[in-house]
Structure 1
Amino acid sequence: MEPGLQQAPQLHTEIISWFTANARDLPWRRPGCSPWGVFVSEIMLQQTPVVRVLPVWEQWMKRWPEPSALAAEPSGEAVRAWGRLGYPRRALRLHAAAAAMTDRFNGSVPATREELLTLPGVGTYTAAAVASFAFGRRETVVDTNIRRVHARALSGKALPAPALNAAEMRLAVELLPDDDAASVAWNASVMELGALVCTARSPKCAVCPVRQRCAWVAAGEPAPDYVPKGQAWAGTDRQVRGALMAVLRQAREPVPRNLLLGPADLTTAAAATDNNTATSSAEADAGTDAAALAKLHALQAPAEQLERALAGLLADKLAEENDAGLQLPV
């Protein structure tokens, strides 16, 4: 047994009580939120902070309040509405999942973890989280925030292992309350504690409800066993892909390949950024947003990087190409 597991009942009581008093008022947590709203939030929140997700989630739910509404539109519209949330393949997965729900589950989000796992793009975390938070089922939910709380409070480590391992899953299973409602509250509470208090870089131990029980604090707050590596952005293919996607999201018609890959007219583009009416004739003919094109050209990405990024978008089905140029999927 993991040291500290004997304190599980006290941890349950103290962390759930903290959550009841301190949880953020998020729309997907409210009693009236549909399972579809919970499902959409779980996909959007992957690797993306709440503050960025909130406005996009609200717009999404107004436009597509149920899976069949999204499934009825082209997948490119999902990508367009995804905006700047990042990792836009998630938009395609959401669209594919909505289509599967419409075709196989009468337009509803399936209620069990096993059924959820049959949906495109749904992995073990998402299936467990939706089953728990949308349907009140007893499922072991383990995300980065939960893993960090478990690592510190029970294992005395500053950070969890770089990747989820079997020992961590066993600990999470052993910690889960037996009662369905309590298990749902526990999942949400530990996740929130990790997001707001037991953070990776600057934990707020002074206000933690279980500071007196925390194995990491008791051990003198030892340093991590490894140094997490942040993801580079500037100059990467991801940055170029993002800039290309911004152009395609704003375009009303296919964008000619040479407009994306050709030599950047930085003078024209810069002027267009300051004055939306100052577009070149080529840009106007293509229905292309000049400011988005200006940002792409301002990167001054090498031709081979632009080609590589475009090829990746086409391979990932985030874009398609015809004789007129490139566009979002239709």
Structure 2
Amino acid sequence: MNRVAALTRHTLFWPVAVWVVLLLANVAFTPGFLSLRIREGHLYGSLIDILLFGAPLILVALGMTVVIATGGIDLSVGATVAISGALACHLIAGGHGLIVALPAAVGASLLLGLWNGLLVTRLGIQPIIATLILMVAGRGIAQLITGGQIITVDSGAYKMIGGGYWLGLPFSILLVAAALAATLLLTRRTALGLLLESVGGNAEASRLVGIRSSGLIVLAYVFCGLCAGIAGLMISSNTLSADGNQAGLWIELDAILAVVLGGTALTGGRFSLSGTVVGALIIQTLDTTIYTAGIPPRTTLVFSAAVVTVVCLLQSPAFRAKFRRRPPALPASASAEQEVTA
């Protein structure tokens, strides 16, 4: 019994449980939903599709997790996604090769993350305001790069990033897996993770004990910009086009939601990268479930909100405590009086 209680208190238990329920619900509507098949040397199936279409969100959510761990927030990741894809496609369409387009897009993403970090640390602007500036201006920059039009490119090598296969699996899934492994290695096998949690718990106290809080915060925003930039390359390469207006639109909200569903508190401090990945998979599986179950479009948002609400409530210790609360023990004096009366 104690083991079961300990299991349900684990950060990943309820997100994983909800994800499994969503998968089983899809099986009820599509019996072969969980089946995998190999065709022309490539692995196909609904689970692969969920990972493939959820790859950009997982990547953005990883960067968002690190920023939230420091007590910040980044609302500009959607704009960074748009700028990265627009710049890469603009350069490729202009006759430049990937050797120029990819470093330029990634470099621009790093600079955007650095800009956010400096606004927060050097100028003391609240993270939600600092990143809101780039969220608005960045979307305009992306439109300037594309000239307000959708840029299309014809590059098989560029298509590989978001729509290609390698070793039988979508390349984007392997790219996300590599990014997750590297992030876990840096944050859980070195002191970096503890330093980030320390800054998120109390930045001023961390600074007083010798931790360079401002440097870590800037590093977190730069990493978040990098993740968003690579996600932008995935999205644009999958369609071989760049849309400065629609690319990455509202992905920042999904990323924040994925972080919360994964059990990381928005107040900063302790974080869970594995939980974030599960949270992103819940969101993508939820979208798949909506189409599989044939839920009417007019009720889609209500259905999504209901599922998210259930997950958040299940993760709340206070909410779960209400269902296992025991009657309060009688005071010692009252117990003695009852014994005398008996």
Range into which the TM-score falls when normalised by the shorter chain:
under 0.3
TM normalised by structure 1 equals 0.24
The higher relative CO (CA closer than 8 Å, separation ≥ 6) is in 2
Q: Which has the higher helix share?
A: 2
TM normalised by structure 2 equals 0.23
